[in-house]
Amino acid sequence: NAGVTQTPKFRILKIGQSMTLQCAQDMNHNYMYWYRQDPGMGLKLIYYSVGAGITDKGEVPNGYNVSRSTTEDFPLRLELAAPSQTSVYFCASSPSGGANEKLFFGSGTQLSVL
């Protein structure tokens, strides 16, 4: 049981390039999330999804897009990368957002935009 898998682990982008961060979970969780973690700033929610075909914005969605065509996959798309998007990105999931459900995280993608 792999849990939440993120690829790639590291990536360097040039300003203006685009890329997709991949996230997959094998726990049949309905809820999935994308966070970014900046040094000393805690985790900020970018987008989340409560099920296939349903996505919604979090606190910091500008410059990002997501899709959720299957329960398992929740890719994050960066269009026209900017230095402000240099961060560590985490994908997370939970079964159905219930009050007794823990949040499960992937190991993260460290992205640098130069």
Nearer to other proteins, 74 or 90 (CB): 90
CA 22, chain centre distance (Å): 8
Question: Which residues are CB-contacts of 7 (< 8 A; sequence separation ≥ 6)?
Answer: 21, 22, 109
Nearer to other proteins, 20 or 37 (CB): 37
Q: Which stretch binds other proteins (CB under 8 A): 15-23, 40-48, 62-70, 73-81?
A: 40-48
Q: Which stretch binds other proteins (CB under 8 A): 18-26, 30-38, 68-76, 78-86?
A: 30-38
Tokens representing 64 are: 């990002």
**For residue 109, what are the β-bridge partners?**
89
Residue 107 in the binding site for other proteins (CB under 8 A): yes
Question: Which residues are CB-contacts of 45 (< 8 A; sequence separation ≥ 6)?
Answer: 33, 34, 35, 58, 59, 60
Binding-site ranges for other proteins (CB under 8 A): 4, 31, 33, 35, 40-45, 48, 50, 56, 58, 90, 92, 97-108
